[in-house]
Structures are given as structure tokens and as C-alpha cells.
Amino acid sequence: MCNGLFLHHHHSDFPQLRFVHLTSAGLDRAPVRELEERGVDLRSATGVYSIPVAEWVVTQVLQLYKRSRDFWRHQQEHRWVKNRDLPELAGSTVTIVGFGDIGREVAKRLRGFDVRIVAVNSEDRPSSLADMTFGAADLGAALRIADVVILALPLTPGTRHLIDAAALQLMKPDAVLVDVSRGGIVDQEALLAALDEGRFRGVALDVFEMFALSPLPWQASVAAGPANLAATCYWPCCCSPSSSATSSSRWEWARTGRL
């Protein structure tokens, strides 16, 4: 069982390797093709983190819409400040890019807020959880209409920097962007530049492109970034499940489910 093992070791260093269970849902840190060619049984933790990640997404969307950090800061400063221009989430359009386990769990929770759910997936597959669906080729159209954009897709050579400067410019100036996929999905330098221009109601990040090898340069910029930027360190993965039965069932599904 591992996560970043193959970032530092070649698979040939383990000649007796027969089984690998990743602690992540994504496969981008494993040499998938090489392991398959060797006949190694490779499995992932797909579905294990979907609920806590989805709950984190809802938390971030609400705190950015309701500016809860401002209220907390005012409390700490012993100031009584009213804010009469907080927007309602109801009636907003939420585009979820990547409608797998995490994307669907996010949709389930946000539907209760009377939002319109737009799903973007690679094959334009319809879903009962989405009001509209777009294929990957129509990502731009899905970004243009979104008040909230949530990224929950895997990192592949084809999705690296999928959200680049051009894609960021397609989004509404007051949109909310939440990334729980992989840091490499977003061109983070372009994102910082967009924030410096005053774009976005808010941005919430739980993943960083340079986190694994050299986190300091970009994360230093995040730490000193604007007030509408929220950043956490893989926070959803630290959550405890609601019950041991739920935890066991998710891990059992991940253990037995073939890729």
C-alpha cells in the first residue's frame, strides 16, 4: 500500500512485486502501463475519499459566498460589522468538471441549495444528478455559464494545465473556483495572475502543482495571497468517516474493485 513510492523508486527496484494498492484515487503517481505489463495487480482508493472531499467543497463554496472568514476576523478583532451584500447561492449555476465519484457526491450535496448542476465529463454522459452535461470538447461553454466551477478530474497528460490563462478568462469575473483534483490541472501562475487582476469571488485550493517536490515558492505566494484565496493541505483526506461500517465498506470496495 503506497502513494508516492514510485516518485522516488523505479518499479524494477521491486522484482517480487505482485500487488499495489494506492492510497489515492488518482493513478498519476504510479507507472500504470509498466505495472500492467509486469502483471502486477494494481488498485486504487477510488470512492474512499469522495464524501469528505465533497463536504469540504460545499464548506468552501459557502464560506466564499458568505465570507465567513470576514466574520471570524471581525470577532477576533472585537468589531461588530454588518455585511448587507452577501449573495445567495440559490439559483447559481455550478459546473463540475469531472463527474466521477467525487463530482457526483458534490452534486448530491449542492442540489439541496437549489442550484443548477452542469456536469463535464469525457464522454458527455448524462446523469440524473446533473441538469446539463457537456463533453470535454465543450468545456469552454460550461465554464462561461458557471457561477461556481469545481474541478474533480484526474491528472493525465491530456488534462495537465487544462485550466490555463485562456480558460480562466472564460470564467465570470466573480466566479468561485474550487480545485480538489490535482494541482497540475490548473496553471497556478496564471491563476495567481488572475487573482492579482481582481478576478474571482473566491478560490479554494486543496491541491498544488509543486507540493510534492518544491512547495515553498508557490505556496509562499498563496500564503501572502488575497483574502479571497483559501488553501488547505489535502484536508479532506484527514476526515474521519461517520461510522466504522461506512469506512469499512468504502475500503472494501476499493480493495476488491478492479481498475
The pLDDT tens digits for 40-80 are 887 776 666 789 899 999 999 999 998 877 777 767 887 88
**Cβ contact 136:89 at 8 Å:** no
Q: What pLDDT is attached to residue 142? A: 97
Q: Is residue 249 part of a domain?
A: no
135 pLDDT higher than 60? yes
Q: Is residue 162 part of a domain?
A: yes
Q: Is residue 253 part of a domain?
A: no
56 and 90 assigned to the same domain: yes
Q: How far is residue 235 from each of residues 53, 57, 68, 182, 186, measured CA to CA in Å?
A: 8, 11, 18, 13, 19
- pLDDT grade for 259, boundaries at 50, 70 and 90: very low
13 and 102 assigned to the same domain: no
111 and 149 assigned to the same domain: yes
82 and 14 assigned to the same domain: no
Of 127-136, 208-217, 234-243, 245-254, which gets the smallest average pLDDT? Answer: 245-254
Instruction: Give me the amino acid identity at 221.
Output: S
Q: What pLDDT is attached to residue 162? A: 95
**Across the chain, what does the average pLDDT equal?**
80
Strands 132-135 and 116-121: parallel
Q: What pLDDT is attached to residue 120? A: 96
Between 258 and 153, name the one with better pLDDT.
Answer: 153
**Cβ contact 166:160 at 8 Å:** no
Q: Would you call 151 helix, strand, or coil by DSSP?
A: strand
Q: Is residue 252 part of a domain?
A: no
199 and 225 assigned to the same domain: yes
* Domain harbouring 60, CATH code: 3.40.50.720
**Cβ contact 233:17 at 8 Å:** no
- pLDDT grade for 20, boundaries at 50, 70 and 90: confident
Determine the structural domain holding residue 138 and report its residue range: 50-238
26 and 151 assigned to the same domain: no
22 and 127 assigned to the same domain: no
H or E segment and range at residue 219: helix 216-223
Q: Would you call 90 helix, strand, or coil by DSSP?
A: coil
118 and 84 assigned to the same domain: yes
User: How many whole angstroms from its chain centre is CA 20?
Assistant: 24
Q: What is the percentage of the chain residues whose pLDDT exceeds 90? A: 41
76 and 147 assigned to the same domain: yes
Surface-to-core class of residue 48, CB atoms within 10 Å of its CB (0-12 exposed, 13-18 middle, 19+ buried): buried
Q: Is residue 20 part of a domain?
A: yes
18 and 40 assigned to the same domain: yes
Q: Is residue 251 part of a domain?
A: no
Between 59 and 126, name the one with better pLDDT.
Answer: 59
93 and 29 assigned to the same domain: no
18 and 35 assigned to the same domain: yes
Count of structural domains, the chain: 2
Q: Is residue 116 part of a domain?
A: yes
- pLDDT grade for 242, boundaries at 50, 70 and 90: low
Q: What pLDDT is attached to residue 256? A: 41
